[in-house]
Amino acid sequence: MFVEGIVYLGSKYLMIRRAWNESYLPGKIAFPAGKVERETLNNALEHNVRREILEETGVTVHEPRYLSSQSLVTGDGRWAVTVQFLCEYQGGTPTPQPEEVAEVMWMASSEIYAHPDALEWIKRTLERAESAREQ
């Protein structure tokens, strides 16, 4: 299971460029995400998404809000579930974690939709996030 954080500040979204040495989608533009680690805390998914965002970008967020979930087949052929959370930026200076992230940037939705390194499922997730923010 994976969690993905769609972090926003005003009209911009926090995006990462995956490190070039990553085996899965190197150099692609994505939302901060990662595997769910075993937790003994309440709200384990929310805790994990906050941790992943902080580890990958140095940014903290307000209380994550469930957005959606998807099932997928990983690059090595395993079935997995990704749970996406909409997260309002709280603080911190966006800084990439070099082992996993080459770059961290704030991007307008129009920039993400037009970016050649943003995959279609990222764009679909962004559409859901924008719709949820309008409600």
Sign of CA dihedral 98, 3, 82, 84: negative
Q: Domain 2-134 belongs to what topology?
A: Nucleoside Triphosphate Pyrophosphohydrolase (3.90.79)
Instruction: Domain ranges for the chain, please list them.
Output: 2-134
Q: What is the DSSP string of 28-83?
A: -EE--EEEPPP--SSSHHHHHHHHHHHHHHS-EESS-EEEEEEEEE-TTS-EEEEE
pLDDT given at position 63: 93
CB 18 within 8 A of CB 25: yes
Name the burial class of residue 132, with classes exposed (0-12), middle (13-18) and buried (19+) by CB atoms within 10 angstroms of its CB. middle
For the whole prediction, is pTM greater than 0.75?
Answer: yes
Q: Is the pLDDT of residue 41 over 80?
A: no
Q: Is the pLDDT of residue 23 over 80?
A: no
pLDDT in tens, 58-117: 999 999 999 999 998 877 788 989 999 999 999 999 999 988 899 999 999 999 999 999
pLDDT given at position 40: 60
Confidence of residue 53 (pLDDT cuts 50, 70, 90): very high
Structure tokens at 74: 């990983």
47-60 mean pLDDT: 96
